[in-house]
């Protein structure tokens, strides 16, 4: 049960109030084209600061980067108002290590809205002791520690002051700059990032592993700058990519790769393709097995009774059973005689005999359809050999 003292009142107020301000902006604040372009551009800058910087560089160390790139990402990410790199990465590593458990800060098992943003309402105190992870590398990182120490003024400047003064000095739209490029842009970046923890655990395919909730979906990728191939990401978190196909939307990967062509990023980590394909095929095989289980494949061989040839003949002669032998198995064709696509006569001629040769080309080489049908007619397993006289002739 959540107690009042467990609530982080400042963070919660910001999270609740900003969407209403954004709604007011959309309805009543005029938007000129320069501010529209700037808001969109700054949305990408701050969003990529989170996905390429906070997430793939610092939380997962999936690639390395020059100092200039690191400073840029640390400053850009601060403008997304999602805590410092150190704070963010600690929670994110806990999320990966303890996915879907009580120690997962944004466990999808606690509901869509909990994983989307309600988890942020709880104070640090109430989360203490849960999901411990190693962040010693971050503590040693000078860029990360500088950003952590100076986070509040840096965040206020990059999230609110910078977008406003660019629009103000640039084309005289101080009010629009603040309402659109600062507040509304921030709300969109917030909820886009939050979708990685909520939507990406609800919508789509479990392409590589279905033991946990992360899923792959194009729509989530679209709103999260490519982070929507989340099943892949949880399976191979050290890979700098989230999408591995060229046609899948992953602008974060494109940026990291582009930066590598001019030396700003390097050592881009990719999980061996052989292992990726293994995971994918295992899941495909599982899906096929589930589909197979829905079909009737006949009585399993191990459950069939055994009959000697003499017992088989007695059943045919004395009890008038419509049985024939094909490849060591006895089939009851009683119901099938009148439906045989090859005609009644051929089936009748096989009763009480071994028709292996005729069935397999001696008379007609049957297709898969016939072999599948046969499974439904299983009657028993033949114990021993068939006398030559009872075998079909090729005619």
- Residue 364 contacts ligand HEM per CB under 6 A: yes
Contact between 390 and ligand HEM per CB under 6 A: no
The total of other beta-carbon atoms located within 10 Å of residue 142's CB is 9
The single residue among 215, 359, 378, 382 that binds ligand HEM, judged by CB under 6 A, is 359
CB of 324 to ligand HEM, least distance (A): 6
Give the length of the chain: 395
Nearer to ligand HEM, 58 or 379 (CB): 379
CB of 316 to ligand HEM, least distance (A): 14
Instruction: Identify which of residues 23 and 301 has a Cβ nearer to ligand HEM in the complex.
Output: 301
As a whole number of angstroms, the distance between CA 323 and CA 306 comes to 14
Write the DSSP string, 55-106.
IIIIIT--SEE-HHHHHHHHHHHHTT-S--HHHHHHHHHHHHHTTTSTT-TT
Q: Taking CB under 6 A as the criterion, which residues in 102-121 touch ligand HEM? A: none
Structure tokens at 107: 């466990």
Distance, CA of 183 to CA of 39 (rounded, Å)? 10
Q: CB of residue 374 vs ligand HEM: minimum separation in angstroms?
A: 5
CB of 327 to ligand HEM, least distance (A): 11
In whole angstroms, what is the distance from residue 165 CA to residue 272 CA? Answer: 47
Is residue 229 left, alpha or beta, with left meaning phi > 0 and alpha meaning psi from -120 to 50?
Answer: beta
Cα dihedral value 131, 137, 139, 141, nearest 10: -140
The answer to the question of residue 367 lying near ligand HEM (CB under 6 A) is: yes
Distance CA 170, CA 270 (A): 42
Binding to ligand HEM (CB under 6 A): which residues in 156-195? none
Give the residue, chosen from 355, 378, 380, 382, that forms a contact with ligand HEM under the rule CB under 6 A: 355
Is residue 342 close enough to count as binding ligand HEM by CB under 6 A? yes
**By the rule CB under 6 A, 350 interacts with ligand HEM:** yes
CB-based closest residue to ligand HEM: 342
Q: How many residues bind ligand HEM (CB under 6 A)?
A: 22
Instruction: Figure out which of the listed residues 167, 187, 199, 373 binds ligand HEM, where binding follows CB under 6 A.
Output: 373
**Residue with Cβ nearer ligand HEM (280 or 366):** 366
CB 352 within 8 A of CB 316: yes
Residue closer to ligand HEM by CB (options 234, 353) is 353
- The C-alpha atoms of residue 296 and residue 373 are separated, in whole angstroms, by 10
Q: Does residue number 366 form part of the binding site for ligand HEM (CB under 6 A)?
A: yes
Q: Which window, 54-62, 161-169, 294-302, 335-343, contacts ligand HEM (CB under 6 A)?
A: 335-343
Question: Minimum distance between the CB of residue 344 and ligand HEM, rounded to whole angstroms?
Answer: 10
Burial class (CB in 10 A: 0-12, 13-18, 19+), 376: middle
Among 7, 346, 352, 391, binds ligand HEM (CB under 6 A): 346
Using the structure block, give the residue that is written with the tokens 């906070």. 54
Distance in angstroms (rounded) separating the CA atoms of residues 288 and 290: 5
Kindly list the residues in this chain that would bind ligand HEM in the complex (CB under 6 A). 331, 333, 336, 340-342, 346-347, 349-350, 355, 358-359, 363-364, 366-367, 369-370, 373-374, 377
């Amino acid at each position: 049960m959540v107690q009042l003292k467990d609530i982080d009142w400042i963070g919660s107020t910001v999270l609740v109030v900003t969407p209403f301000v954004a709604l007011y902006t959309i309805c009543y604040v005029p938007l000129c084209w320069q501010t529209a372009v700037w808001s969109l551009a700054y949305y990408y800058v701050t969003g990529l600061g989170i996905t390429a910087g906070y997430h793939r560089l610092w939380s997962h160390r999936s690639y390395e980067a020059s100092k200039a790139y690191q400073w840029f990402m640390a400053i850009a990410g601060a403008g997304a108002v999602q805590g410092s790199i150190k704070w963010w990465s600690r929670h994110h590593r806990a999320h990966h290590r303890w996915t879907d458990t009580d120690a997962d800060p944004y466990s999808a098992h606690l509901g869509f809205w909990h994983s989307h943003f309600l988890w942020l309402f709880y104070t640090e105190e109430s989360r203490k002791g849960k999901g411990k992870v190693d962040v010693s590398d971050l503590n040693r990182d000078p860029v990360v520690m500088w950003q952590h120490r100076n986070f509040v003024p840096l965040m206020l400047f990059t999230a609110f002051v910078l977008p406003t003064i660019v629009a103000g000095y640039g084309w005289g739209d101080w009010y629009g700059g603040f309402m659109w490029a600062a507040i509304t842009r921030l709300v969109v970046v917030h909820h886009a990032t939050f979708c990685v923890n909520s939507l990406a655990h609800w919508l789509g395919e479990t392409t590589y592993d279905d033991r946990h909730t992360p899923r792959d979906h194009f729509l989530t990728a679209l709103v999260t700058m490519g982070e929507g191939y989340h099943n892949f990401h949880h399976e191979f978190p050290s890979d700098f990519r989230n999408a591995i196909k060229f046609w899948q939307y992953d602008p974060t990967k494109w940026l990291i790769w582009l930066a590598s062509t001019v030396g700003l990023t390097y050592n881009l980590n990719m999980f061996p393709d052989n292992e990726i394909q293994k995971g994918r095929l295992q899941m495909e095989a599982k899906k096929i097995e589930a589909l197979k289980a829905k079909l009737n494949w006949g009585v399993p061989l191990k459950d069939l009774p055994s009959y000697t040839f003499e017992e088989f003949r007695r059943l045919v002669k004395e009890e008038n059973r419509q049985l024939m032998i094909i490849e060591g198995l006895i089939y009851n064709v009683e119901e099938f005689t009148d439906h045989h696509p090859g005609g009644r006569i051929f089936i009748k001629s096989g009763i009480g005999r071994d028709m292996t040769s005729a069935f397999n080309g001696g008379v007609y080489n049957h297709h898969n359809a016939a072999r599948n049908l046969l499974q439904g007619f299983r009657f028993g397993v033949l114990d021993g050999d068939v006398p030559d006289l009872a075998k079909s002739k090729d005619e």
